[in-house]
Amino acid sequence: MMKQASKCTFERERALGHGIRELASELRLVEPTDYVAFVRAERFANIAHLVASSAELFFKPGTISFGHAGEVDLKWGEPPSVVLDMEFRHLRVSVYFRLVLEALRAGVEITYVSFEGASDVPDENTRHLIEAIADARFAPIADGGNTAPRPARTDNDKPQTSLDA
């Protein structure tokens, strides 16, 4: 049986991942070499612009932003992995998360979540997050035939949910 905190984290990552699926797909259109150049040269304003211009297609202004940090995992013989620190803020919910962009998928890993006026019941807070994500979008979340993103990794300490983007 999962611990309550792990179960809530997984459910929240799944909801967030499902909510930003199209945004992740849009960001995966950028060449990995561009992300490498921006991260290595600390040109985080360029990444912020890419995120903002991609987010404006799906989200209300100011709800999704780049957290001005990122990393690139680039090894010989392996596909690159780009990790962007991101922020979601809407309806008194703040989520800091890492968006992992890979060749065939994307994933999210929540690093911090805050609910203004939080409930003592974690499931109620999770429902509030889901409502905030839905309200922050211009259009309802597209189902795409797969409503449940799969876990991207099995690391129990740091759950990460795949977006199947």
- For residue range 61-118, list pLDDT tens digits in order: 999 999 999 999 999 999 999 999 999 999 999 999 999 999 989 999 999 999 999 9
Per-residue pLDDT, averaged over 3-18, amounts to 87
The DSSP secondary structure of 19-55, one letter per residue, reads HTHHHHHHHTTS-HHHHHHHHHTT-HHHHHHHHHHHH
Q: Tens digits of per-residue pLDDT, 111-146?
A: 999 999 999 999 999 999 999 999 999 987 766 544
Q: Give residue 152's pLDDT.
A: 47
CA distances from 98 to 120, 145, 160, 161, 163 (A): 26, 25, 9, 11, 13
Q: What gap in Å lies between CA 97 and CA 152, rounded to an integer?
A: 15
Number of H helices, E strands in the chain: 5, 5
